[in-house]
Amino acid sequence: MDIGFIGLGNMGFPMARRLIEAKHPLVVFDTRKEVVDKLVVLGAQAASSPKDVADRVETVMASLPSLQASLEVATGKDGVIEGKRVKRFLDLSTTGARMAIKVAETLATKGITGIDLPVSGGVGGAEKGTLAVMYAGPRDGFEELKPVLSAVGKPFFIGEKPGMGQTMKLCNNMLSATAMAASCEMMVMGVKAGLDPAVMVDVINAGSGANTAVRDKFPKSIMTGGFDYGFYTGLMYKDVRVCMEEGEALGVPLPVSSAVHQMWVMANQVNGAGSDFTEIVKIIEGWAGVEVRNKKK
């Protein structure tokens, strides 16, 4: 299937690359020429704008960093909505249900189907093609698009209404954000008490406290001192903030999530939006006066 792909960042680039490897002809666009050029070398065709992508293919995918970027790419000037060939727009970004519904309703005025398609699994999952792909849109479209979606991960049919995929993604990401914040506190407390962080990781992963932060983030990016997991603090903060907004709109109290939200507000302000999200541990480390790092042998 001919595919258009817009947004070639940390997540978008490996997903687009996997589509090329799966033999799907690809037309790509990003504001950064250097990442477009890398995919052209692999066999993609370069486009000059989102509209240009949508002029050349019926199926357009996008992976974008903010709600505003998704809205503008889909419905703005020179956006997908102005394309001559496009029939469906698949948004892999995390925008929240209300934005997904707004985009889908706007695209529908031009006969374009807006499909809510967030993904989870991080940069590693995007590289390996093991992402959880959350589809919310027409059921028959899910079956048709399965070969495409399977190139980037495991597709799940969430529901037919745009926004359902976003709600699923926000629930997932809030749990991930909570595990990260809580694990930072416990790992720092253990090290402050004299425990070896490597032993802590082994014990927690074998016990009832096991979670992805201790399994993946601590050994790979925190205990090494690399802080290079590949996901920005600003993006995690955005996901948590949007989840809080959605909970309020639905009338669902989120007291625990509210405390987690405050930690990510702090991480975004102190470490900066462009920092690696694993650097949230530095805030707790600073308060405690210890660092959670591998012991020197």
Q: How far is the C-alpha of 103 from the C-alpha of 97, rounded, in Å?
A: 10
Q: Which structure tokens are listed for 172?
A: 């997932």
Question: One of 51, 169, 238, 282 is an active-site residue; which one?
Answer: 169
| DSSP letter string, 124-146 | HHHHHT-EEEEEES-HHHHHHHH
CA separation for the pair 246, 239 (Å, rounded): 11
Amino acid letter, 98: R
Q: Which pair of tokens denotes residue 70? A: 């998704």
Other C-beta atoms closer than 10 Å to the C-beta of 53 total 29
C-alpha 36/C-alpha 31 separation (Å) is 8
Q: Which residues pair with 62 in a beta bridge?
A: 6, 91
Rounded Cα distance between 139 and 38, Å, is 34
- Torsion angle of alpha carbons 188, 270, 121, 8, nearest 10°? -150
Per-position b or e across 167-183, b if 16+ CB within 10 A of its CB: bbbbebbbebbbbbbbb
Catalytic-residue membership of 169 = yes
**Catalytic annotation, residues:** 169
